[in-house]
Structure 1
Amino acid sequence: MKKNLENIFLIILFLMTLSLPLSEAIKQITFYLLIFIGIFIFYQNKLTIIKDKIFWSIIIFLLFSILSSIFSEYETEIKSIIKSNLDLIRIFILFLIIRTLPFFTYNSIKKYFIFPLYISFIIAFIWGFYEKYFNNYKVFKLHSIGHVNHSAIYLVLIFTISLSLFFYEKEKFTKYFSLIISILSVIGILSTGSRAAIFSLPIIYFLVLILENKINLYTILLPSFLVLIIGLVFYFILHDIWFLKKISYGFYPSGREIIDKIAIKKWLEGPYFLGIGPGNFKFIDGNIYFPDLNSKHLHHSHAHNTYLNFLVERGIVSLFAYLFFLLSLIYKFIKNNKLIFSKIGIIFIIINLIISFVNTTFHHENALLMCLIWSFALNQVDNKSKYEKN
């Protein structure tokens, strides 16, 4: 019975990972199944959650997020409170479960998480590529991930995982499969035209080289040549005007500085500790703060900045708890930076912290994918002897 439950959990993990960019319905069903089976495994094996700084930062973040919904000046119905907080509650529950489960190994994670992640990405990539370049869609996006910026962040995470495993792996199939995924994810990122994602590529690349101790002339010149080739293909063959237009903006904020100012001004009105409630940014009327400015940016669904979005919606306590959560993770991973998932976890945190200045990163599939990697990394740190490379 015990072994059967573990196998069922791994199979459902496989299905959920496979569904991430492809099917919202399957993702939701398997997500809940993982939580329920995980809780039952905890009960059966008398496991307990590790109550450290990481755990308590999560509890504080969720507690003040729920309180911000309850005392919000906008929607305070039970239905809206549950809806606005449920996504991150589920993600953190699964994070704590996977962190503690004793049966994971490197090979089981590779089989039941990495491979379905790669397979689903290939399907979603081909789908999105066809829609943009053969069906005349303006932007490239992954089916179930949705919005182009969210898809770009997901692609950045895929690129980080695949590139790290390419340099880490000795087994040829996984190594070169990872290389193919890395190349496709770069093409996907360029196709989105997301400047935050595009400008993060060299940062990720050199972080991987540093952590894997692979910096040399070959590893610097070869990718530079490949990027040049890909760029020429985008210009002369694909004629991707959207990509060229977005790149021409450089670091220009494109109106997002107005959204940032609206978020800050709204937070300064209070309540400072609780904010206005998760998901309620859409109710803010920017005309109050900029009455003379006729701009579409005066009404928006979120702040396009993770820090300001958490600050204005969930309050300063939740924001500090979230940052403390990330800092606690990176401290633990740096102390164990020889482990592969610790390396990927470090890069995830750094890139997340950077992109968070211009996009909301920590929600839906992207938050789930980050937390899965972080939970595997913590599991690997706590059970080093069980993880074997081959």
Structure 2
Amino acid sequence: MKKILPTLDLVMLSLMIVSLPSLEAPKNIFLVGFLVTRLITEVNQFKEGKKLWGGWDSLFATIVFTALLTTIFAGFPGLEEWKGYKVLLTAILTGWFLSRTYYSENEYQLLFKLIILSTIPPLVWGLYEYLVIHSRASLEVHSVGHVNHSAIYLVMIFGASLAWLLSHLNAKKEKVTLSWQITLLGILSLLFFISLIIGESRGAFGIAVILAMMLCLLLPLKKYIKLFGVLFISSMLILTVAVNAPIVKKQIINQENNNVLSARDRIWNVSIEAARFHPLLGIGLSNWHFINLDQLKKSVEDRGEIFDSRIYSFQGHSHNLYLSALVERGIVGLFVTFLFMVAWIRHLIKTFQWAKKSIGRTYLWGGSLSAWVATFGIGFVNTTFHHEHAILACLFLGIYLSYTRLFLKTK
């Protein structure tokens, strides 16, 4: 059985990755299969005296424990806090257990590529539903769902695919030739980028442009390739505005209606006021949509201030990663979120010079950076790190953490 476990957990993980953007039930089955298999492996290793523990293990454990604490002592008890905890726990355990795996270099790289390629079928189907048969009002990646969730997912995939492309244009090469692989990767990156334009999520599109610029400027490319990349991305941005694409029309309409932020400022006002209810541990994960106007009114009037219902809007969730953490998990949750964010980017900065030395390292680094930028960048205007895109972010993080743990000393 012990000999089968390493292969079994890799198979379960691979099947989960393939199912993640496409099939809800199989995704959950294979994810549980991976976590259970890894847990058995961890128990066996502990019995054998292999007590691997590092700084990232402590951080993951802190996230799990503090989230549990805020769930047990939720300010709005008996609602959906345990459901919300399960969602967060699933993503964190995926990243945590994956960071402790012992795969080969080729296996980590194949997992990375599988993540990107498995997005193509549900994306093509989503484009067909939206543009051809008009069965959907917006572009959605099948199992990822809601247009904003799909956009967050696609930003990570776009960044990772672009990093994959750019890694093959490494500056160390004396001459860069246009091979079939580079051509296909270019088409793939363009498909994901155009899909973000079609998806009409302004926050996701803006972060995708910033991410693309970052990758072009940071990765080890010849100067003329960097210049071409920046000019190409700029041209795509200008073209999007010039043809008055739907994403641009949406922004213009919002500006004309004096609603530039799509009511997010009023949604954020709800979060800012609700954060006063239970400041230390919050109201409980996934309990934001149980906040009501009467609670806000009482909170405002108890301070002796005049309540104005017009400055508040309720749309299901906070539309901000940081405010969500503050309201649902309190100051404790917000602190841990910042800790997670800083530790992640610190690891990327620390390993950057090493990662630039080979193609495989470069795109694994780029995938992890893409997940960080999408999660914490789009997080200013939407509730990121949720369901499929949280799992995806943890996949990119976990793969890179494990890869660097095993191979960082390699020159």
TM-score by length of 2: 0.83
Paired positions, count: 375
CA–CA distance in structure 2, aligned partners of residues 179 and 4 of structure 1: 38
- Give the partner amino acid of 2:69: L
- Give the partner amino acid of 2:44: Q
Alignment-derived partner of residue 162 in structure 2? 163
Q: Note the C-alpha offset of 1:287.
A: 5.4
CA–CA distance in structure 1, aligned partners of residues 138 and 322 of structure 2: 26
CA–CA distance in structure 2, aligned partners of residues 288 and 86 of structure 1: 27
Query: Residues 18 and 177 from structure 1, CA distance in 2 versus in 1: closer, same or farther, beyond 3 angstroms?
Result: farther
Asked if 2 retains the 8 angstrom alpha-carbon contact of 1:70 and 1:76, the reply is no
Q: Note the C-alpha offset of 1:83.
A: 1.9
CA–CA distance in structure 1, aligned partners of residues 240 and 269 of structure 2: 37
2:342 corresponds to 1:327: yes
Q: Note the C-alpha offset of 1:363.
A: 1.3
Asked if 2 retains the 8 angstrom alpha-carbon contact of 1:287 and 1:293, the reply is no
Asked if 2 retains the 8 angstrom alpha-carbon contact of 1:118 and 1:181, the reply is no
Asked if 2 retains the 8 angstrom alpha-carbon contact of 1:191 and 1:243, the reply is yes
- Give the partner amino acid of 2:264: R
2:22 corresponds to 1:19: no
CA–CA distance in structure 2, aligned partners of residues 3 and 168 of structure 1: 35
Cα RMSD of the aligned pairs, angstroms, is: 2.7
Deviations 1:230-251 (A, max 9, x none): 777x76xxxx6x4343242479
CA–CA distance in structure 1, aligned partners of residues 112 and 156 of structure 2: 12
Q: Note the C-alpha offset of 1:387.
A: 7.7
Deviations 1:120-149 (A, max 9, x none): 211111111111112223211111101111
2:268 corresponds to 1:245: no
2:285 corresponds to 1:278: yes
- Give the partner amino acid of 2:326: L
Q: Note the C-alpha offset of 1:173.
A: 6.1
Alignment-derived partner of residue 303 in structure 2? none
Deviations 1:311-353 (A, max 9, x none): 0011111111121112112112211113222343234323422
Q: Among all aligned residue pairs of Structure 1 and Structure 2, give the percentage whose two residues are the same amino acid.
A: 28
2:117 corresponds to 1:119: yes
2:102 corresponds to 1:75: no
- Give the partner amino acid of 2:127: F
Alignment-derived partner of residue 194 in structure 2? 187
Alignment-derived partner of residue 59 in structure 1? 61
Asked if 2 retains the 8 angstrom alpha-carbon contact of 1:306 and 1:356, the reply is yes
Q: What pairs with 1:353-372 in structure 2 (closer than 5 Å)?
A: 353-372=376-395
Report which stretch shifted further, 25-34 or 260-269: 260-269
Deviations 1:95-114 (A, max 9, x none): 22211112231x21232x23
Deviations 1:170-200 (A, max 9, x none): 7956544432321111111111100101111
Alignment-derived partner of residue 84 in structure 2? 84
Q: Note the C-alpha offset of 1:7.
A: 2.2
Alignment-derived partner of residue 50 in structure 1? 53
CA–CA distance in structure 2, aligned partners of residues 60 and 44 of structure 1: 23
The unaligned stretches of length 5 or more in structure 1 are none
Asked if 2 retains the 8 angstrom alpha-carbon contact of 1:306 and 1:360, the reply is yes
SS in 1 for 2:319: coil
SS in 1 for 2:381: coil
Pairing partner for 2:401 from 375, 378, 387 = 378
CA–CA distance in structure 2, aligned partners of residues 55 and 168 of structure 1: 29
Asked if 2 retains the 8 angstrom alpha-carbon contact of 1:66 and 1:81, the reply is no
CA–CA distance in structure 1, aligned partners of residues 309 and 179 of structure 2: 58
SS in 2 for 1:302: coil
